[in-house]
Structure 1
Amino acid sequence: MEKQKYSTGKSLVAGSLLHFTLLILFSIFEIPLAFSQQNKGKVSGKVISSDGQPLPFASIALLDQEGKTLKGTLSDTVGMFHFVTIIEGNYKVKITTMGFNTHHSKPFDISSRNNNNIHLGVFTLFEDAKVLNSVTINAKKKLIEQTIDRTVINVENSILSEGNTALELLEKTLGVKVDEDGKISLKGRSGVNVMINGKPTYLSPKELSTILKGTNSSSISKIEILNNPSAKYDAAGNAGIINIIMKKNTATGFNGAIALNSGYSRNAHYGSGLNLNYRNDKVNLYGGYNYAYRGETEYLDFVRRFYDTGIANGQPQRTSFQHTNTNEPLNTHNFRIGFDYELDKANSFGILINGNLGKYTHDSKTDNNLISNNNSTISKTITSNYDQQHWENLTYNANYLHQFKKEGRELSADVDFASNSFTSNLNLNTITLLSPDAPSGTIASRKGYVPAVTDVYIGKVDYTDQFGKTVKFESGLKSSFIQSDNNLKYHILDNGNWVYDVNGSNHFKYKEQIHAGYININKEFKGFSLQVGLRGEYTQTQGHQITSDSLLNRNYFQLFPSVFLNKPIGENHQFQAAYSRRIERPDYGDLNPFRVFRDPLLYYQGNPFLKPQLTNTFQLSHTFKGKYTTAINYNQTNDAITWITGQIDALNTTFETPKNLSKAINYGISFTASTELLNWWTGTYFANAFRNEYRGSQENEDFKNANTSFSFNTQNSFKAGKGYSMELSAFWYSGSVYGISTYKASYAVSTGIQKQIFNDKGSIKLMVNDVFQTNRYQEQTFFQNIDMNTDKRLDSRRAMLSFSYRFGNQNLSKKERKSASEDIQSRVKGGG
């Protein structure tokens, strides 16, 4: 068997990246000098609707005298637009946006004899009644859009969105990987902050994974990926932010939609949903409910080799061959109800309640054969693990938005309360079959009750202002209070009586409060724009180990600066540079030292002495024609939190626990392309080459585990005519490393077909996920006394047939307002 090697030395990839980085820096600061003598003017203006509201993301084209388009841009979130480095000449601008009449400005000229900084004033666009009457909710955005600061995947436009879970959708997202335990990484980096509707979940990775598994993909509108968030957003998430935005109808009048789906993998899958909405000029009432049942069966092979010398070398004295079959039925209920009310043009408020309730059952049978080095049987055991879990996740939000008379000035406030309850009832029974040491066989039984309650209280205020035509100012305050209570009780069957297990049981309470403030300033200069931000966060935590009566208090203050530079060169090129500092705090599940048993010889245990990890992130990127983006990134994490495998040879027992490694380094280069290959074929392609290096110590021995990895994602859409469309997606990940472990390559291909019916108000979709059943996780760990292999085969191949139908008024509303409870991130553009 090939052993994992831990090597040192300078990487060839690092040298190549350095040359490429220097080339981009040279391009940013040197190339424009050749044209600087011709760059004369700057043009700006603002776009509003007839009722005085700013029109964000309107298309602005700069035209020459003959009407030829020279440059293009979009208005920002307050309706402002800018053109810079305009040479002398006569021009006009054309403004277009969906649902409004096209507007042409009066001609203007830029000349050295006149003021070359021209503000065109305010343009008022009027609604196009014909367009509003003809445009329905069927108007689709592109499946994947690349904006200045994020990648947006419009999930509701995807055939593959039906019959999947939110976690499976993330797995198909560009640059995102979900491992066998539900942990999420982005561009090869772990520690992603997952948000729902712009709000952190404050759940442990396991609880978040369960919630995402229980969220039907049909209720999701889009997924946003921010690799380098600005200081406006929480500093949590050293790999960036993934924001999942749920559907919310913006059509006027009364309308709704129903959905049904059914399918099969190794077990049955089915679900249904209903969404209703009523909107008029002042009030928007909305609600929805989704139910899903997912039957899943997965297979796990686990081989462990034990050495009496304490060093994994040569012939093992004992080898454990373990095979597990697991049935995992999942029942979920999701609901959402809320209303927005517009007091007047300047003030609005809203209330929102989100709920996610479900039941998950882990029902597994494990065969474990322990073999000596001469192939004789030492022991045979059969373990049944029946764990029934229930959860309730309820979130309440009240929000307020005030828009001042001064354009660009806005104040918003949010108050949130989230109640999260997870309960686990575990029954673990192990039968040791006939062996030389136990001729009659033995039975060992353990049962556990694990109630976990987490309450979250959040208050935040954000303020935005515009100074002149080139300066945008953002600031805000936020406080969050979290308290969790885990009371794990184990009992062991002894002579027919259940006896409380003092050593295995544990009661752990955790409190955390974070107080934050930030300032962001965005300034446009001649030829480039710059955004600088600073966020300060004070953290106070308390972990109370009630069982052992130990208390661990921590408090610390951290500053998180961010800098973003954006420089366009001509019409087709845009360069960006970004730096940010981020933090990943250990969650209460990582800190809680209680043991969770998979079987008697495998358990997981938290670490109350974990420290937060801090990451410095650098990125350089270049976008060509708004379709092709190349990005170089470098990230260094100190005190990296990593799950490490340990082993007790004398007991033939393996465990996993989180530890702080001294350092984790990630750097790489990625390429994204959004193309229309033919008029009936559009595709988005993402390729990433990266290197991960983990450095630290395990049992007083230093180690370095490093590997250069590659990944590829693609999403393709095909128009087949007569209401038919098809979709094909695929991903491939090469071998990678995590901590002291190595993962083998994996890939999957998914496809689907859709037919529009009932005058495009309904659709029938057939989706096949992981067509070739190739999405599996193969892990190898070889370090010190640990020598083991894991092969996990998920229940990922699934065929689903779904039907959806929209009813009521489907015309788009002429005016859409986003309340503070919705996607806070989309209100103001972030940095690059």
Structure 2
Amino acid sequence: METQTKPTVQQPVAGPFLHFIILFLFSVFDANPLFSQQTKGKVSGKVSSADGQPLPFASIALLDQEGRTLKGTLSDTMGVFQFTAVATGKYQVKITTMGFNAHQSETFTLSEQNQGIQLGILTLYEDAKLLNSVTIKAQKRLIEQGIDRTVLNIENSILAEGNTALELLEKAPGIKVSEDGQISLKGRPGVLVMINGKSTYLSPKELSTLLKGTNSASVSKIEIMSNPSAKYDAAGNGGIINIQMKKNMATGFNGTVSLNGGASRNARYGSGINLNYRTEHLNIYGSYDYAYRGETEYLDFIRRFYDSGVATGKPNRSSFQHTETDEPLYTNNFRAGIDYELNSHNSLGLLVNGNIGKYTHDSKTSNRLIDQSGALLSRMTTTNYDLQNWKNLTYNLNYLHKFKKEGRELSADADFASNSFTSKLNLNTTSLASDAAQSGTTTSRKGYVPAVTDIYLAKVDYTDPISESLKLETGLKSSLIRSDNNLRYDILKNNTWEYDVNGSNHFKYNEQIHAGYLNFNKNFKGFSIQAGLRGEYTRTEGHQITTDSLLKRNYFQLFPSMFINKPFGENHQLQAAYSRRIERPDYGDLNPFRVFRDPLLYYQGNPFLKPELINAFQLSHTFKSKYTTALSYNQTADVITWISGQIDDINTTYEMPQNLSRLINYGISFTASTAFFDWWSGTHFANLFRNEYSGNTQNGDFNNNITSYSFNSQNSFKAGKAYSIELSGYYYSGSVYGISSYKANWAVSTGIQKTIWNDKASIKLMVNDIFQSNRYREHTFFQNIDMDTDKRPDSRRAMLSFTWRFGNQNINKKERKTGSEDIQNRVKGGS
């Protein structure tokens, strides 16, 4: 039995970039105030949208009588702003924020007798020219760039029809999804994906399966945060992606019905219904979506083997493998909840989320092995039939107390999530005769993988706007995760199934995380600061029952974060951000036993993985709330990377996760929101970055680096009365991951929509990846490893959909979120 307690976790070095940031901030924020004279007047107010919701981070300029900008500031998260030390005189304030018409107040006067001006609530109205007129008049633009996040308003997008949530992410600016479902943001791997503000606690593979099983008809918007605050879990080195599901906020009874159908290499279809009943104190809501996704995928895999143990010269043997896989997927998503306001200060809520589905991996593989001269050494055909079923259920009970003081709130959540996953595998390999003198042989293996993960979570959050310029957020959270994975393999010998002792294993994993955070938002004269500190204590225990080995770890980490915002007049805004984050290995990565893809390829976990830690810096500039330029520098220590290995004498390849010394990622990105004409609006994202991997593996030291770039463009066009068109495209240049390199890939998609029945219904036609150019080509060349992969997913498809909205659709009550911000990322399973 092996026990390890309190391991030493390497601290990443911030590097010289930190000194540059500090010097820059001192030079910017220590500058002289705009008003040099001694003044003591104060101007304050609150910015709100037409439906009463506060507008955070709006740009507010203080103007003199001639309209010249004297001071600038930002509204806080409650929409409140203030100017202090203002001389006597006549002034106006001008407010601008993306997606809304600018607002300029009436002239007011500061005098010796009236040194405090309270402007009250200043209402901004949505800018019709900037709205994407896809379906309804009040619709937001497809992509919005906020001060700390990018928001994709999926709900009415034409291109979202008939997709899965994972396919939606592929179109998002700065996001790249690899062929096995790994998600990276601006070149940084290790992204934490949340659903409705809750972590999924699923492994990358099982999360990929869950997102494949989530119909886009259920998704309202996607929020992308590259530098989250201390309020969020410290997990997710690459940042956080929050997928918000639909929830109707209109009063009375209302709902939506949708149908879609189409084809790629196979058929796809789905349907859904969303119902909502809301009164002054009660809200009852529910939704259900069903989807079938037929898909066929092609894979070519070339491996070269060298008897010398080093990939140099001509290989002694080469393996050429071709795989064709049918992957039908059936999914059921449902959501039901009730919110009840006990009185004006207290409310209760109950919510149930469910995702139940079935996925089949049915592949046929041919494999030819040849020698140096090209002579055939062996031929094999393999069939892999893997039937997978999963059931994800999450129950949430929440309570919200609003104090008499506006903005002061206390929320509490209790969550239970149950995730079950089963895999029934049948792997049959036939070795074909190479010549007439030989006869073929067949080997068969079957596997059964039941995996269960239960999550228990309790959380409390408190928010207090202490003053007009100071806001406090604090909270506590505890989570307990229990995972049980019992993998059994049987081998067919002499027509009898025999238990495979070497291939089977039983692995149990328990994890506790206890966290607390403090977050302050403070508005100063001319700039604002948000500073936070999160502490997390982690205790893990991995029990390998098959070999009776036990590995324990416990550690405490602090995760500071800071954001500084400074407006320069009404058009310019500067922000500096820093955060420290962690990425813990998921349960499947820690499980050391083998999962076979075919007899010559398997995956294996590593129980000695350490968590990776990152220091992330970003400096950004926003112009006219439409154009954002960002510089970023990120350094990750003990970066977890899947590394390929090879056993040359038996022509076998394996993959397992290992800690490399570090990953350095830095670059520059540019986001632009455009409205060239009344009939054309768009959002465009460009990113230039460099990834530098370094470290040592079981096969030796290495460095792998490359400068990469990407571009994403989303465009909306008005095409006459009741018609609209969308056109999107992305391009990713070559990149690196660990010891592997990837070639460029790109795709172009388009769609058209017509609204009917007085905007109560719409018909949409979408074509995804028109040129079928989205493919994944990987090359690995290191030590004795020399291999190429070419994967061609079923990405080109045409979908026709119909959506009907009935009942009252007018929103007059703002949404209250549940207090739990994070639940469910690291359970093993999926495909």
Which 10-residue stretch deviates more, 82-91 or 265-274?
82-91
Match of 1:5? none
Shift of 1:45: 2.5
Match of 2:118? 120
- Give the gaps of 5 or more residues in structure 1: 1-13, 128-135, 826-832
Change (3 A) 1:27 1:778: farther
Q: Is the 8 A contact 2:92 2:107 kept in 1?
A: yes
Alignment of 1:772 onto 2:777: no
Change (3 A) 1:437 1:648: farther
Query: Which amino acid is the alignment partner of residue 724 of structure 1?
Result: Y
Match of 1:81? 81
Query: Which amino acid is the alignment partner of residue 225 of structure 1?
Result: I
2: CA distance, partners of 1:122 / 1:819:
26
2: CA distance, partners of 1:459 / 1:352:
15
> SS where residue 228 of structure 2 aligns?
coil
Query: Which amino acid is the alignment partner of residue 550 of structure 2?
Result: L
Change (3 A) 1:81 1:33: closer
Shift of 1:633: 0.7
> SS where residue 578 of structure 1 aligns?
strand
1: CA distance, partners of 2:659 / 2:170:
27
2: CA distance, partners of 1:694 / 1:410:
45
Alignment of 1:499 onto 2:498: yes
Shift of 1:470: 1.4
Match of 1:759? 758
Match of 2:607? 608
Please give the per-residue CA displacement for 1:740-789, whole angstroms capped at 9, x wherever unaligned.
Answer: 00000111111111011111110010101001000000000000000000
Match of 2:488? 489
Change (3 A) 1:119 1:505: farther
Please give the per-residue CA displacement for 1:554-610, whole angstroms capped at 9, x wherever unaligned.
Answer: 000001111111111111111111111100000101111121111100011111111
Match of 2:9? none
Match of 2:665? 666
Change (3 A) 1:152 1:474: same
Q: Is the 8 A contact 2:275 2:287 kept in 1?
A: yes
1: CA distance, partners of 2:695 / 2:436:
41
Shift of 1:496: 0.3
Sequence identity of aligned pairs in percent?
69
Match of 1:7? none
- Give the gaps of 5 or more residues in structure 2: 1-14, 126-134, 824-831
1: CA distance, partners of 2:558 / 2:651:
46
Instruction: Report how many residues are paired.
Output: 798
Match of 1:567? 566
Q: Is the 8 A contact 1:61 1:69 kept in 2?
A: no
Please give the per-residue CA displacement for 1:324-358, whole angstroms capped at 9, x wherever unaligned.
Answer: 00000000000000011111111111110000000
Please give the per-residue CA displacement for 1:729-750, whole angstroms capped at 9, x wherever unaligned.
Answer: 1111110100000000111111
Alignment of 1:551 onto 2:550: yes
Match of 1:319? 318
> SS where residue 721 of structure 1 aligns?
coil
Change (3 A) 1:363 1:48: closer
2: CA distance, partners of 1:706 / 1:731:
22
2: CA distance, partners of 1:616 / 1:564:
14
Which 10-residue stretch deviates more, 359-368 or 401-410?
401-410
1: CA distance, partners of 2:38 / 2:108:
17
Query: With CA pairs under 8 Å and 6+ residues apart, which has the higher RCO, 1 or 2?
Result: 2
Match of 1:332? 331
Q: Is the 8 A contact 1:253 1:809 kept in 2?
A: yes
> SS where residue 570 of structure 2 aligns?
coil
Q: Is the 8 A contact 2:460 2:819 kept in 1?
A: no
Change (3 A) 1:696 1:101: closer
Change (3 A) 1:49 1:688: closer
Match of 1:577? 576
Query: Which amino acid is the alignment partner of residue 523 of structure 1?
Result: K
Match of 2:513? 514
Change (3 A) 1:239 1:58: closer
Query: Which amino acid is the alignment partner of residue 685 of structure 1?
Result: H
Which 10-residue stretch deviates more, 699-708 or 196-205?
699-708
1: CA distance, partners of 2:18 / 2:395:
48
Match of 1:300? 299
Q: Is the 8 A contact 2:61 2:569 kept in 1?
A: no
Match of 1:233? 232
Shift of 1:91: 2.3
Matches for 1:158-557 after TM superposition, within 5 Å: 158-435=157-434, 439-557=438-556
Please give the per-residue CA displacement for 1:292-316, whole angstroms capped at 9, x wherever unaligned.
Answer: 0000001000000000000000011
Change (3 A) 1:38 1:441: farther
Change (3 A) 1:94 1:661: closer
Q: Is the 8 A contact 1:606 1:657 kept in 2?
A: yes
Shift of 1:213: 0.3
Change (3 A) 1:726 1:823: farther
Q: Is the 8 A contact 1:748 1:775 kept in 2?
A: yes
Taking structure 1 as the reference length, what is the TM-score of the superposition? 0.91
Match of 1:816? 814
Q: Is the 8 A contact 1:350 1:819 kept in 2?
A: no
Match of 2:11? none
Shift of 1:809: 1.2
> SS where residue 447 of structure 2 aligns?
strand
Shift of 1:147: 1.4
Matches for 1:114-153 after TM superposition, within 5 Å: 118=116, 120=118, 122-123=120-121, 138-153=137-152
Query: Which amino acid is the alignment partner of residue 118 of structure 2?
Result: L
> SS where residue 719 of structure 2 aligns?
strand
Query: Which amino acid is the alignment partner of residue 28 of structure 1?
Result: V
Match of 2:5? none
Which 10-residue stretch deviates more, 339-348 or 87-96?
87-96
Match of 2:3? none
Shift of 1:104: 9.1
> SS where residue 148 of structure 2 aligns?
coil
Query: Which amino acid is the alignment partner of residue 505 of structure 1?
Result: S
Taking structure 2 as the reference length, what is the TM-score of the superposition? 0.91
Match of 1:108? 108
Q: Is the 8 A contact 1:176 1:184 kept in 2?
A: yes
Q: Is the 8 A contact 2:72 2:569 kept in 1?
A: no
1: CA distance, partners of 2:699 / 2:102:
70
Q: Is the 8 A contact 1:348 1:819 kept in 2?
A: no
Shift of 1:643: 0.2
Change (3 A) 1:616 1:170: same
Shift of 1:530: 1.4
Aligned Cα root-mean-square deviation (Å): 3.1
Match of 1:587? 586
Q: Is the 8 A contact 1:487 1:506 kept in 2?
A: yes
2: CA distance, partners of 1:544 / 1:383:
33
Shift of 1:115: 8.0
Query: Which amino acid is the alignment partner of residue 316 of structure 1?
Result: P
Query: Which amino acid is the alignment partner of residue 713 of structure 1?
Result: N
Q: Is the 8 A contact 1:62 1:91 kept in 2?
A: no
2: CA distance, partners of 1:59 / 1:780:
47
Which 10-residue stretch deviates more, 591-600 or 195-204?
591-600
Which 10-residue stretch deviates more, 792-801 or 151-160?
151-160
Change (3 A) 1:20 1:731: farther
Change (3 A) 1:267 1:475: same
> SS where residue 166 of structure 2 aligns?
helix
2: CA distance, partners of 1:438 / 1:281:
84
1: CA distance, partners of 2:536 / 2:387:
38
Q: Is the 8 A contact 1:197 1:822 kept in 2?
A: no
2: CA distance, partners of 1:450 / 1:697:
33
Match of 2:28? 28
> SS where residue 411 of structure 2 aligns?
strand
Q: Is the 8 A contact 1:62 1:69 kept in 2?
A: no
Query: Which amino acid is the alignment partner of residue 771 of structure 1?
Result: I
Query: Which amino acid is the alignment partner of residue 816 of structure 1?
Result: K
2: CA distance, partners of 1:553 / 1:298:
41
